[in-house]
Amino acid sequence: MKFSPQLNLNNALHLAQLSELVYKSEDEINKTIAANYNFDAVYYHSAASHKQFLNKGFERIIYSFIKSRYSIVDLQFLLTFNKDPDTGCNIVTIVFKGSKEPMDWLTNFNTKEQDFYQQGRVHH
Q: Is 96 exposed, middle or buried (0-12, 13-18, 19+ CB in 10 A)?
A: middle
Whether residue 56 is contained in a domain is answered as: yes
Q: What pLDDT, in 10s, does the model give residues 107-120?
A: 666 666 666 666 66
How many domains are contained in the chain?
Answer: 1
Give 40's pLDDT tier (boundaries 50, 70, 90). Answer: very high
Whether residue 114 is contained in a domain is answered as: no
Residue 58 scores a pLDDT above 60: no
Residue 38 scores a pLDDT above 70: yes
Whether residue 37 is contained in a domain is answered as: yes
Check residue 39 and give its pLDDT. 92
Contact predicate 75/66, CB 8 Å: yes
Whether residue 111 is contained in a domain is answered as: no
Whether residue 89 is contained in a domain is answered as: yes
Q: Which is more confidently placed, 34 or 102?
A: 34
Share of the chain above pLDDT 90, in %: 20
Whether residue 123 is contained in a domain is answered as: no
Q: Residue 48 belongs to what domain range? A: 9-95
